[in-house]
Amino acid sequence: MGKGERHWKKGYSAYELAHCWLGAADGVPERIRVVLDQSKSWQGAELLEAFFELETDLRSKGRPSQTDLLGLFRLSGGLGVLAVEDKVEEPFGPLVDERLADGSPSKRRRLEVLCEAVDLAPENTKPLRYQLLHRAAAALFEAERYRASEAIMLVHSFSRSGSWYDDFARFSEALGLLAEGPNQVSGERFFGKTTMRLAWVGDEPQP
């Protein structure tokens, strides 16, 4: 589901993301560039295309994952996909356990598909935020579609208090991709043919 109308107003996530990215000199906001350059394979990455609210089929019954911004980059060793989830004070939504509470077989099947993509056992995802799980899987699916060797799932936060970072850290730790803190890129893991990293970038909202 796309952003509601209010999210395109000043102080909300879609507004902040659009102004930050569209106003960047080379198409990549400075704080994002600093974090990307921490990874040797992403240093000097050239943005080729960017798509707002890109829908990705999750290979199971249900709605697609709608990435707030998906960027396709030229790297020194090939192509890279950057999947950006933007936040101001909005939460990440329900836990996996809460989502499965109604016992829906289709929801259970979708969880199995997502867990297979990110190499997690379904029973270990219960305390994790479902939105982060399907966004990470979407990043890997898009990397496969573009035949990109690298993928980063990144939360671009405009919260001055860093709201919901703990949820992100818990998810990152479950994937074995926990960075040293905000504004740091994680180490890497291979998922199929794709090298995956995670990152959280804190930024300032528009004045």
DSSP string, 23-45: T-TTSS-HHHHHHHTTSGGGTTP
User: Which conformational region is residue 93 in: left (phi greater than 0), alpha (psi within -120 to 50 degrees), or beta?
Assistant: left
What is the residue range of 148's domain? 5-202
Residue 207 maps to a domain: no
Backbone angles phi, psi at 144, to 5 degrees: -65, -40
pLDDT score for 14? 87
Residue 119 maps to a domain: yes
* Integer Cα distance of 18 and 201 in angstroms: 15
Residue 161 maps to a domain: yes
pLDDT score for 186? 98
In the predicted model, what is the mean pLDDT of the chain? 94
* Integer Cα distance of 25 and 64 in angstroms: 31
Residue 196 maps to a domain: yes
Backbone angles phi, psi at 143, to 5 degrees: -60, -40
pLDDT in tens, 6-29: 445 666 788 999 999 998 988 999
∠ CA 68-180-169, rounded to 5°: 50
pLDDT score for 53? 95
Domain count, the chain: 1
Q: How does DSSP classify residue 140?
A: H
Per-residue pLDDT of the chain (207 residues), as tens digits, is: 455 554 456 667 889 999 999 989 889 999 999 999 999 999 999 999 999 999 999 999 999 999 999 999 999 999 999 999 999 999 999 999 999 999 999 999 999 999 999 999 999 999 999 999 999 999 999 999 999 999 999 999 999 999 999 999 999 999 999 999 999 999 999 999 999 999 999 998 887
What is the three-class DSSP state of 73?
A: strand
